[in-house]
Amino acid sequence: MEIIGYIASLIIGISLGLIGGGGSILTVPVLVYLFKVEPVVATAYSLFIVGLASLVGAIPKYKQGQVNLKTALIFGIPSIAAVFATRKFIVPRIPQEVFTLGDFVVTKSILMMILFAILMVFASVSMIREKNKNGNDTPEEIKQKFNYPLILVEGAVVGTLTGLVGAGGGFLIIPALVLLSKLPMKQAVGTSLLIIAAKSLIGFTGDLSNYTMDWKLLLSVTALAIVGIFIGDALSKKVDGNKLKKGFGWFVLVMGIYIIVKELFFPGGGSH
């Protein structure tokens, strides 16, 4: 199982490098089902893996002028604050047994995985439905206008979601940047990577005092994801990212449904 887990870690990075997102949505299921990490701890590990991998992915985008620092700052500040607060104060206070439905006990672990699976379903729908935007970038000459209240609210919402389930939330951030900040699509992808990196890594620091970290596992999975990013980046020059994104979207949808069915009808398998 661990060998499959390491191969999957490489795929997480390839996905990030190839289609600018999506990989983070696989990190928690890979950690829980293949490495047998407890779900709540897996969301913490995911923040570190996704954060570092996104940071590496953002560097070449920045050099290509595809990162808008002003937007990253305006969107990133409420997002970072929300992630840190969620990881430091909210997640540790969720009770081990959240509620019961008849004989079925909804534990903290089950709740985390169900929340994560619902996010996967939403992410998959946005990937499947996404039109080919590469040719229809917002023209550079359009003056950037910021809808400050909406950007602050969206940043805080995405940050809270990231804190709860440990996913980067690129599928929420990219449309927000295009619609609310009027960024061209390619700039939105690059800026999104920087925002994900900052909020995930700072959010992870909120967990350091809450859990004992398995640094060997954490660093090996992260290293493979980073290698995957370079492979994905090289492949992206040869492969149509939009077709891949749609295919990956269907895969994420199936995975999301699988997790919901497994957690609701076969709890107790895996690591919890």
Question: What pLDDT is stored for residue 269 in this prediction?
Answer: 54
pLDDT band at 201 (very low <50, low <70, confident <90, very high): very high
Q: What is the pLDDT of residue 158?
A: 86
Relative to beta strand 104-107, strand 97-101 is antiparallel
**First vs last C-alpha separation in the chain:** 16
| Helix (H) / strand (E) containing 98 | strand 97-101
Dihedrals φ, ψ of 105, to 5°? -100, 120
CA-nearest of 169, 175, 176, 121 to 153 is 176
Asked if residues 18 and 232 have their Cβ atoms less than 8 Å apart, the reply is yes
**Average pLDDT of the residues in 193-212:** 89
Beta pairing partners, 105: 100
CA distance 199 to 195: 6
* pLDDT at residue 247 is higher than 70: yes
- The structure tokens listed for 79 are 């997002």
What is the average per-residue pLDDT within 31-51?
A: 92
pLDDT band at 128 (very low <50, low <70, confident <90, very high): confident
pLDDT of residue 68: 93
Residue of 5, 2, 13, 7 whose CA lies nearest to 222: 13
pLDDT at 215 over 50: yes
Q: Which residue stretches of 132-169 are H helix?
A: 148-165
Q: What is the overall mean pLDDT for the chain?
A: 84
| Secondary structure (3-state) at 130 | coil
pLDDT of 142 = 57
Calculate mean pLDDT across residues 53-68.
Answer: 90
pLDDT at 170 over 60: yes
d(CA 191, CA 187): 6
Residue 50, pLDDT above cutoff 60: yes
Q: Is the pLDDT of residue 243 over 70?
A: yes
